Amino acid sequence: MPQLAFASSFWESYDLLEKPVKAGVRKAMQKFQQLTVPELQADKGLHLESVENARDPRMRTIRINDFWRGVVLAPDDGTDVFLLVNVVPHDEAYTWAAKRLYTTNAATRGLEVRNVVALEQLTPALEKAAAAADSLLFAKFSDHVLRELGIDEQVLRAARTIVDKAQLQAFEKLLPEDQFEVLYFLADDFSPEEVYRDVVAVRRPADAGPDPDESLAVAIANTTGRIKLVTDRDELDEILGKPFAAWRIFLHPSQRRVAYRASYSGPVQVTGGPGTGKTVAALHRVKHLLSRSPDSRVLLTTYTNALAASLRENLALLLDHDAALLDRVEVTTVNAYAHGVVGRLDGHIPSPIGDREERRLWQRVAKKLGLPWTEQFLAQEYRHVILAQDLRTLEAYLAASRRGRGSALSAARRQQLWPAVELFESMLREQKATTHLKVCARAAELLAASGPTHDHVVVDEAQDLHPAQWRVLRAAVAPGRDDLFITGDPHQRIYDARVSLGALGIPVTGRTHRLRLNYRSTEETLTWSTGVMSPVTVDDLGGDGSDTLVGYRSLLHGRRPHVAGYGSEQEEVAALVERVREWIGQGIRPAEIGVCARFNVLLDKIYDKLDAAGVPVVRVRDQPAADVEGVRLATMHAMKGLEFRCVAVLGVTAGAVPFAREVTPAEVDALQHESDLLRERCLLFVACTRAREELSVSWSGKASPFLPGQA
């Protein structure tokens, strides 16, 4: 019986088909599971026929209905895996199929496709132009080096004509996938050794023999990042019948490598720019961990309740709603987990106060004690020094290092400050209140005495966790193999968390991985948004150096972000209403549009204007269910982790981003000043990187200095 495999290129077209056409595809695919190869070839309804003038002799078309054809790669080497590569209108099917050539990459051993005709037509003219060019993009790499990385003769000839990155991008759709990725990273200044490690080695099977000309079936089996082999009937019904979620099936090799590695000797750190599938990798890791033993328990944490809800939903999808598996995973925020621990082990828990309330308390403390520091300084000292190092006594405070703080505090000054801490804590006790971080500190203490609660901890959105929260996670699982799997992006740090994971007993050295392919946004949005961060460097997740967005890229293309300033806020909001109408006119559902601003005041105005214009609108903070129609409104902070087809970021003015009140004056603490500015910059970056297809950024009056080209 033949086997059936689906290329990712097929899903892009399948997803857009009308229901009856999809049913036709399903019916045709079932035949591949019911008939023998000779029966398939003889089947009148399927009409499996070769393509005239095809550059790949294995190319076949099949009939879906009068208008649609499927394009199939049929084995000609005695193996039996048929690969469905596309669904195309009848007239285009033959031209599409005739130009494509599938080959096995000599280095990765994966199956790749190229537009061989276009390459042949373009290369001679480009060679002429290249002869006159001042410099060529790949001149410094010898043919030998490129061949070792899997570049074949035709691609080598084309690569030798490329003068710059823009030209390389233009080649993207024509070149074989793995070879394009190799060239892309070389163009981005990665060394051939790094490219071999990150592109070739992650794909190449460990047992790859010397001969790259293996069968089509073997090449297909080597290409899990782009091809799904269907093993049984139920699986076929399931993947064709449900709304398709590519992330469940096709993982980038770098995602697969981190998520499905059998075991790690200790904590693992996975970083990557926005939309690189870190959350997806975390979810797959949970699936893997559950499969390794029948009764292990996993704690999966993220930053907000809304994100926890979405993790729960996606995990259920990935685990096929298997209740027994889902029961073994606790999905929650770190604060909620800590709250649960304290409630369970202490029997009661004071209620945590919010940031605003905390600030008010510090104000009262400063006033009452007549101290020479602002409430902002005291709150920061408490958060970044006292709670961060879990200092419980004056002696411990006197002995503590204040590295990272921009102002020195002599022993005498510390003695003067400590009563403020005591007063703050006694005021909390009086009110029978606490703070979230204090709950975490207590939870860590209780867990240290009672022992871990889980076998594995998986942490998403790790960049914003405070040391007190890390201590809870550290205590939730015993140190050892596969204890913590951590994903995060330091460029999205919006809550001023500074940690040294090593010092917290979470050593990740030697187990750090980076994801570079953005699956969410277009290259245009990504390039522009990366410009927001390019003037600065950010500390890495574990606090041991700096992080970088080098090599970060997207395969998607679309319009450039719409970036505009207006004379007044009124005009800006009016323009937004028009833009939203335009998007809806293009067929985008209101729920697929996200609108955000730094402050709720502006969001209120936007709400009223959209509402008055008859556009349904809801606030993200009200946690509307996914099926509730309405444009989503959120503050920039609440945009964390979310994504929308279209995103408008409003109010990006000099007064709001950065927001002066949230930035410590340089004369109070120069380091804190810099880090506050960085946090505000990251906030804009987070907001802008939520867009899948279109991004619009606007302001009225003076533009934010963080906007590329505005400083």
Ligand X SMILES: Nc1ncnc2c1ncn2[C@@H]1O[C@H](COP(=O)(O)OP(=O)(O)OP(=O)(O)O)[C@@H](O)[C@H]1O
Applying the rule CB under 6 A, the residues between 224 and 253 that interact with ligand X are 246-247, 250-252
Residue 199's closest CA among 110, 85, 260, 114? 110
Using DSSP, state whether 22 is helix, strand or coil.
Answer: helix
Sole window of 92-100, 275-283, 288-296, 664-672 interacting with ligand X (rule: CB under 6 A) = 275-283
Is 685 near ligand X (CB under 6 A)? no
Quick one: 550 or 601, whose CB is closer to ligand X? 550
Applying the rule CB under 6 A, the residues between 464 and 503 that interact with ligand X are 489, 492
Any known ligand binding at 279?
Answer: yes
Both tokens of 144, joined, read 């030998």
Quick one: 317 or 668, whose CB is closer to ligand X? 317
The residue nearest ligand X at its CB is: 277
Quick one: 6 or 397, whose CB is closer to ligand X? 6
Cα dist. 311→158, 236, 290, 337, 457 in Å? 44, 25, 16, 15, 14
Quick one: 256 or 414, whose CB is closer to ligand X? 256
Using DSSP, state whether 666 is helix, strand or coil.
Answer: coil
Nearest distance, CB of residue 496 and ligand X, angstroms: 18
The tokens 């995973």 sit on which residue?
329
Quick one: 450 or 534, whose CB is closer to ligand X? 534
Whether the CB-CB separation of 644 and 690 falls below 8 Å is answered with: yes
Quick one: 251 or 620, whose CB is closer to ligand X? 251
> What span, in angstroms and rounded, lies between the C-alpha atoms of 117 and 100?
8
Is 423 near ligand X (CB under 6 A)? no
Sign of CA dihedral 489, 491, 494, 500: positive
Of the candidates 2, 253, 267, 277, which one interacts with ligand X according to CB under 6 A? 277
Quick one: 277 or 542, whose CB is closer to ligand X? 277
Which residues lie below 8 Å from residue 259, measured CB to CB, with a gap of 6+?
251, 281, 282, 284, 285, 287, 288
Any known ligand binding at 274?
Answer: yes
Nearest distance, CB of residue 623 and ligand X, angstroms: 18
> What span, in angstroms and rounded, lies between the C-alpha atoms of 709 and 155?
37
Fill in the DSSP letter of residue 383: I
Of the candidates 104, 108, 255, 700, which one interacts with ligand X according to CB under 6 A? 255
The binding track of 280-309 with respect to ligand X, each residue x by CB under 6 A or -, is x-----------------------------
Strands 298-302 and 329-333: parallel
Nearest distance, CB of residue 461 and ligand X, angstroms: 7
> What span, in angstroms and rounded, lies between the C-alpha atoms of 323 and 556?
36
Q: Phi and psi at residue 553, in whole multiples of 5°?
A: -155, 170
Both tokens of 653, joined, read 């003015």
Any known ligand binding at 275?
Answer: yes
**Is cis: bond before 658, omega within 30 of 0?**
yes
Nearest distance, CB of residue 678 and ligand X, angstroms: 17
Neighbours of 614 (CB within 10 A): 8
Sole window of 226-234, 270-278, 408-416, 444-452 interacting with ligand X (rule: CB under 6 A) = 270-278
Sole window of 120-128, 153-161, 197-205, 271-279 interacting with ligand X (rule: CB under 6 A) = 271-279
Nearest distance, CB of residue 521 and ligand X, angstroms: 9
Of the candidates 274, 490, 551, 594, which one interacts with ligand X according to CB under 6 A? 274
Nearest distance, CB of residue 513 and ligand X, angstroms: 12
Nearest distance, CB of residue 212 and ligand X, angstroms: 25
Residue 248's closest CA among 257, 239, 240, 261? 239
Any known ligand binding at 587?
Answer: no
Strands 538-539 and 546-547: antiparallel
Of the candidates 63, 69, 203, 278, which one interacts with ligand X according to CB under 6 A? 278
Of the candidates 115, 154, 269, 276, which one interacts with ligand X according to CB under 6 A? 276
Any known ligand binding at 658?
Answer: no
Of the candidates 75, 275, 467, 651, which one interacts with ligand X according to CB under 6 A? 275
Neighbours of 10 (CB within 10 A): 21
Quick one: 402 or 645, whose CB is closer to ligand X? 645
Any known ligand binding at 522?
Answer: no
Nearest distance, CB of residue 558 and ligand X, angstroms: 15
Any known ligand binding at 278?
Answer: yes
Residue 345's closest CA among 356, 353, 337, 357? 337
Quick one: 2 or 275, whose CB is closer to ligand X? 275
Sole window of 48-56, 156-164, 269-277, 390-398 interacting with ligand X (rule: CB under 6 A) = 269-277
Applying the rule CB under 6 A, the residues between 505 and 564 that interact with ligand X are 519-520
Whether the CB-CB separation of 154 and 118 falls below 8 Å is answered with: no
Nearest distance, CB of residue 463 and ligand X, angstroms: 9
Nearest distance, CB of residue 460 and ligand X, angstroms: 7
Quick one: the chain helix, strand, coil %, rounded to 5?
A: 45, 15, 35
> What span, in angstroms and rounded, lies between the C-alpha atoms of 266 and 508?
7
Quick one: 225 or 630, whose CB is closer to ligand X? 225
Quick one: 255 or 698, whose CB is closer to ligand X? 255
* Residue 514 backbone zone (phi > 0: left; psi -120 to 50: alpha; other: beta): beta
Strands (E), 498-608: 512-515, 517-518, 538-539, 546-547, 553-554, 562-566, 593-597
Sign of CA dihedral 559, 563, 564, 570: positive
> What span, in angstroms and rounded, lies between the C-alpha atoms of 423 and 430?
10
Nearest distance, CB of residue 368 and ligand X, angstroms: 42
Sole window of 122-130, 276-284, 576-584, 617-625 interacting with ligand X (rule: CB under 6 A) = 276-284
Both tokens of 642, joined, read 């979310």
User: What distance lies between CA 563 and its chain's CA centroid?
Assistant: 24
> What span, in angstroms and rounded, lies between the C-alpha atoms of 710 and 446?
50
Residues contacting ligand X: total by CB under 6 A: 21
Quick one: 141 or 519, whose CB is closer to ligand X? 519
Of the candidates 123, 179, 269, 279, which one interacts with ligand X according to CB under 6 A? 279
Nearest distance, CB of residue 284 and ligand X, angstroms: 9
**CA 281-286-290 angle, 5° bins:** 145
Quick one: 179 or 279, whose CB is closer to ligand X? 279
> What span, in angstroms and rounded, lies between the C-alpha atoms of 171 and 536?
31
Nearest distance, CB of residue 640 and ligand X, angstroms: 7
Cα dist. 398→202, 389, 401, 515 in Å? 49, 12, 8, 42
Is 641 near ligand X (CB under 6 A)? yes
Nearest distance, CB of residue 682 and ligand X, angstroms: 12
> What span, in angstroms and rounded, lies between the C-alpha atoms of 97 and 140?
36
Applying the rule CB under 6 A, the residues between 61 and 120 that interact with ligand X are none
- Known binding-site residue numbers for ATP: 272-279
- Known binding-site residue numbers: 272-279
Query: Which residues of this protein are in contact with ligand X, per CB under 6 A?
Result: 246-247, 250-252, 255, 272, 274-280, 489, 492, 519-520, 641, 643, 689
